[in-house]
Structure 1
Amino acid sequence: MTPSDHAKPETATGKSARILLVDDEPGLREAVQAYLEDSGFEVIPAANAQQALQLLGTAQPQLIISDIMMPGMDGYQLLAQLRKLEPYSHLPVVFLTAKGMTADRIQGYRAGVDAYLPKPFDPEELVAIVSNLIERSRAASLSEVVARELASIRALLSERTLAAAPPPQPSAPTSLPPPIKVELTPREQQVLEKVAEGLMNKEIAKQLQTSVRNVEKYVTRLLNKTGTSSRTELVRYALTYGLIRL
C-alpha cells in the first residue's frame, strides 16, 4: 500500500487533520513529515519541545508526534506541560522514539501518552495509529458538544413547561410569531422530535432502527433547513414555529 491509498484523514470541518511533529533529527523529521503529508495530513514541524509549545497556539494541532530523547526539554517533559494546558490536556500524543525498553514504555503511558512507536517503525503503522487516535478524539469532542447541547435542550424544555400559560381566551390577542413554512420529510420529523426529547444520536438511531451516521445526516439537514447552528437553537426554532409541540 502506498501513501496515496489511504483515505484522506479530515477534521469535523472537512479539512485535513493537522499534526505537530516534534523531532530534533532533521532527516527523520523530514522523512516522517513527507510520508504523513503524502497520506493526507497537514504537518507542522518543530525541531524541539520548546518550539512545539510556541507553535501550539497558531498550529492548533489535532495530534502531536514527538521524539523522547531531545536536548533541553525531552518528550516526557513536553507531555507533562501539555497535560497542564487546558486546551491541550486531552490532545492525542504519540511517542516516536528509539527507546523501546518495557520500562520506558511504561513511563510513557504513565505520563499520559496515547501511543508508543519505537524506531525503526513501519510508516503504515504510524498512519494507522494516527488516523485512529484522531478519529477517537474527534468522536469524543463531538460527544461532549452533543452532551452540552442536550443539557441546554432539556433546560429549555423544562423552562417552557414551567412557563406554559393556560390557553388564551378567544378575545385575547395572540403573540405567535409569523408562520414559517419548513418542509420536512417524515424521517426528518421523527428525528426532530427525538432531538427535542433530549436523546443522543446513538439513542435516536436505536429507536428509529437506523445508523448513527444517518441520524447525523438528518440532524445536519434539519439545521440547514431551519438556518440554525446547534441542536438547542433547532429545538427552540421548532417550538417557536410549531414544528413540534411539548
Structure 2
Amino acid sequence: MSEPPKLLLVDDEPGLRIAVQAYLEDDDEFSVQVAASADEAWALMEKSPPDLVISDIMMPQVSGYQFLDRLRADPRFQALPVIFLTARGMTADRIVGYEAGCDAYLPKPFEPEELVAIVRNLLARRNAAAATDSDNIKLEQIERGIKEILVTLGGASGLPQTVAKSEIELTPREQSVLDLVAKGLMNKEIARQLNTSVRNVEKYVSRLFGKTGTYSRTELVRFALERGLTH
C-alpha cells in the first residue's frame, strides 16, 4: 500500500495547527508535518520534502511571501504546490500571493472541506504533470532506440537497404498501430491519432508482440523494419 501524500503546514497559531492537522489526518488520506515558523518549515523540508505546503502569510520574522520566494528560488521546490492561509481576504492581497507563486489562496476563517478539496486538486495536477514527464522520457528513449535501429539497418540515410517481405499477416488496424509505434508514438498519442481508446491500442500492441514474437517496442520496430512490415 502506497504512503499517503506528505503535507507541510506552516502557521504560528498553535490552535490552528492542531485543528487543521487533525482534520487532514482524520481519514489517513494525508500525512501532515507542522511547523511554527518558516525557518522551522525549511529545516523539515531539508530532511523530508513534502508533496504540498500549506502556509500562513502573516508570520513573525519570515513572512509567507518570503518563505515562498525562498522555495521558488530552490530548484528542488520550484514546482511544489503551495496554498496560502491568511486572515487577509482583499483582492490586492490575493494578487500579491499569486504573483509570488502560490497555487491557491484561502482566507481565514475557512471551511476544512474546501481546504481538502484544494489539496486534492493540486496533488492530482502535480501527479498528472509527473506522469506526462515520465511519458516524455519514455518516448525520448524509444525514439533514440528507433533511430539507432534505422542507422544500423540503413546507414546515415536512416533507410533499410535490404528487407525481406515477411509472411506475417496484419489487419489494417494492426498495420496502422505498427506504423505509429515505428514513429516512436506512445499509446496515448496513437489512440488520439486513430480516434480510439488507449485500451484498444494496448490490445493491438499485444497482438503485434504475439505475431512477431517480440517483447518490447524497440524489438518490435527492429523486427518490422528488417522484414519490410513498416517504413
TM-score bracket, normalised by the shorter chain, equals: 0.7 to 0.9
Contact 1:20–1:59 (Cα < 8 Å) also in 2: no
Residues 202/31 of structure 1: CA separation in 2 closer, same or farther (3 Å cut) = same
Per the alignment, residue 212 of structure 2 pairs with none
1:202 to 161, 165, 188: 188
Contact 2:86–2:106 (Cα < 8 Å) also in 1: yes
1:28 to 16, 20, 24: 16
Per the alignment, residue 164 of structure 1 pairs with 153
Residues 130/149 of structure 1: CA separation in 2 closer, same or farther (3 Å cut) = same
Q: 2:16 & 2:188 partners in 1: Cα distance?
A: 42
Range 140-149 or range 130-139, more displaced: 140-149
- Give me the CA root mean square deviation: 3.3
Residues 150/167 of structure 1: CA separation in 2 closer, same or farther (3 Å cut) = same
Q: Is it true that 1:17 corresponds to 2:8 in the alignment? A: no
Per the alignment, residue 57 of structure 2 pairs with 68
Q: In structure 1, the residue corresponding to 2:106 is in which secondary structure?
A: strand
Q: In structure 1, the residue corresponding to 2:89 is in which secondary structure?
A: coil
Per the alignment, residue 101 of structure 2 pairs with 112
Per the alignment, residue 124 of structure 2 pairs with 135
Per the alignment, residue 141 of structure 2 pairs with 152
Residues 161/92 of structure 1: CA separation in 2 closer, same or farther (3 Å cut) = same
Structure 2 stretches of 5 or more lacking a match? 155-160, 164-172, 210-214
Q: In structure 2, the residue corresponding to 1:43 is in which secondary structure?
A: strand
Letter in 2 for 1:235: R
Q: Deviations over 1:97-140 (max 9, x none)?
A: 11111111010000011000001101111111110000001111
**Count of aligned residue pairs for this structure pair:** 202
Greater radius of gyration (CA)? 2
Q: 2:5 & 2:32 partners in 1: Cα distance?
A: 9
Give how far 1:57 is off. 3.1
Q: 2:162 & 2:225 partners in 1: Cα distance?
A: 17
Per the alignment, residue 78 of structure 2 pairs with 89
Contact 1:153–1:198 (Cα < 8 Å) also in 2: yes
Residues 68/234 of structure 1: CA separation in 2 closer, same or farther (3 Å cut) = farther
